[in-house]
Amino acid sequence: MDEFEAQNPGIKVELISGPYASTKEQVIAGAVAGTMPDVVGLDGAWVSDFVKQSSIANLSELMAQAGYDDSELASQIQLNGSTYMIPVVNFVYPVFVNLDLMEKAGVAAPPTTRTEFAEAATKMTDAENNVYGWVLPLSMEQPNGIQNDVMSWVWASGGSMMKDGQPDLTNEDVRSAMEYIKGLYDAGVIAPGSFSMKEQDKVEEFTNGRVGMMVDSLAHINLIRERNPDLNFAITALPAVDGYTGKRGLPYASWGIGISATSEHQAEAWKLVQFLMSAETNSKLSSIANAFPGNVNSTPDFVQTDELFGAAFEVFKTGYLANEFVGLPVAEELMRLFDEQFQLYLDGSQSLDDALNNAQTAWMENFQ
């Protein structure tokens, strides 16, 4: 903040920080009372409610007033065509591959297409020794597997689960991805226990060498290294539909930033946002957070010194950030509603048409 204040005489910044849980409580309380700070850290899951409450400002309007070129932003969280949150740093979810299991199975290289992934998962699976090609967490208690491990297959091939701001779960992109996962499930290449498995269970299975591949956050790289220093693994992009040549969507979570709708200093607040999103400052922030930048022209220091993060950064630069749950109303509940129907499809209790139609109907009740 000292650097920002030096560049902007007359603007003073009072920094208020705290752990995630207390920050969320403070921001929500401030939104209700109209005492939200001028510039506020945001989780994408809060955006929809804050926009409905008219608590956060329309950043598209502020960017236009400032003549800001938003082409350098890696992503923007929008509702009704307007931006309300800008991700400052991003924690992406590529594919982790156990290289020793891959070599043992005779797989020449990490898979890049769905066909190659299915073949690799089949070769890596050794059920007698409790080793499986892929791991899929679908716990309804913690349903983010639908976001990170299921819909990610849709986004990796440029697809979408939405249309004109409304759910579109019966489209061919979603159908294709669900059929593909069902094929892996029926083939027995997914680690047992998916329906009760959580993200931390998935990471444990991979860390202990019982799973060949998983979709996971880069935030877990150092945790995996600490728990199993001998694990030989690599990072690659999520495979796409065979023949797809476009950019691949990359699931992500982010720390974002917004501006209070009741702030009396919105122009000054925007100057701080612009400073944080500049290429130089954003490089520093992403390096500190061990995350990827919100500015497409920024490069964190660690990608030059860490081979795995460097590989992941290449995946990041050649794809695009994709998480359509960010900004949706009751996002976690939407995941849970889809999860319920998807599990019934996987275990053969209902058809794909019924699963998608039921999920579509349940979602639409939250978009009225």
For position 244, which CATH number holds?
3.40.190.10
354 phi/psi in degrees, rounded to 5? -65, -40
- pLDDT digit string (tens) for 78-109? 988 899 999 999 989 999 999 999 999 999 99
Residue 142, pLDDT above cutoff 80? yes
Q: How far is CA 215 from CA 84, 150, 151, in A?
A: 28, 10, 11
Q: What is the 3-state secondary structure (H, E, C) of 254-279?
A: EEEEEEECCCCCHHHHHHHHHHHCCH
Structure tokens at 108: 């020449």
Q: How confident is the model at residue 19 (pLDDT cuts 50, 70, 90)?
A: low
Q: Give me the residue label for tokens 């070129």.
A: 69
Tell me which of 20-29, 99-108, 222-231, 255-264 is least confident. 20-29
* Max avg pLDDT among 49-53, 205-209, 215-219: 205-209
The pLDDT score that the predictor gives to residue 52 is: 85
Residue 192, pLDDT above cutoff 90? yes
The pLDDT score that the predictor gives to residue 21 is: 59
Same domain, 35 and 174: no
Same domain, 186 and 71: no
Tell me which of 23-32, 167-176, 303-312, 327-336 is least confident. 23-32
Residue 190, pLDDT above cutoff 70? yes
Same domain, 143 and 228: yes
The pLDDT score that the predictor gives to residue 364 is: 97
Same domain, 341 and 192: yes
Residue 193, pLDDT above cutoff 80? yes
Within 10 angstroms of residue 340's Cβ, the number of other Cβ atoms is: 17
Inter-residue contact 158 to 248 (CB < 8 Å): yes
Same domain, 164 and 273: no
Mean pLDDT of all residues belonging to the chain: 93
308 phi/psi in degrees, rounded to 5? -65, -45
Same domain, 231 and 337: yes
Range of the domain at 35: 2-90+253-321
**Strands 252-259 and 82-92, bridge-based pairing:** antiparallel
Same domain, 39 and 146: no
Task: State the amino acid at position 51 in one-letter form.
Answer: V
Same domain, 356 and 304: no
Same domain, 224 and 335: yes
Residue 23, pLDDT above cutoff 80? no
Distance CA 126, CA 96 (A): 19
Same domain, 181 and 298: no
Query: How large is the average pLDDT for residues 7-34?
Result: 80
Query: How large is the average pLDDT for residues 158-172?
Result: 96
Residue 24, pLDDT above cutoff 80? no
Of residues 79 and 130, more confidently modeled:
130
Q: How far is CA 241 from CA 43, 111, 114, 285, in A?
A: 31, 11, 6, 35
Inter-residue contact 24 to 284 (CB < 8 Å): no
Residue 296, pLDDT above cutoff 80? yes
Task: State the amino acid at position 182 in one-letter form.
Answer: K
For residue 240, the cross-strand partners are 113
Please name which of 135, 104, 123 lies closest in space to residue 205, comparing C-alpha atoms.
135
Residue where one domain finishes, among candidates 286, 304, 321:
321
Q: How confident is the model at residue 65 (pLDDT cuts 50, 70, 90)?
A: very high
The pLDDT score that the predictor gives to residue 158 is: 97
Query: How large is the average pLDDT for residues 263-276?
Result: 96
- pLDDT digit string (tens) for 310-363? 999 999 889 998 999 988 878 889 999 999 999 999 999 999 999 999 999 999
Task: State the amino acid at position 58 in one-letter form.
Answer: N
Number of domains within the chain: 2
Tell me which of 9-23, 50-64, 187-201, 294-308 is least confident. 9-23
The pLDDT score that the predictor gives to residue 5 is: 92
Please name which of 92, 224, 90, 205 lies closest in space to residue 152, comparing C-alpha atoms.
92
Distance CA 356, CA 89 (A): 33
Same domain, 67 and 113: no
Residue 266, pLDDT above cutoff 70? yes
Same domain, 127 and 231: yes
Within 10 angstroms of residue 195's Cβ, the number of other Cβ atoms is: 15
129 phi/psi in degrees, rounded to 5? -105, 15
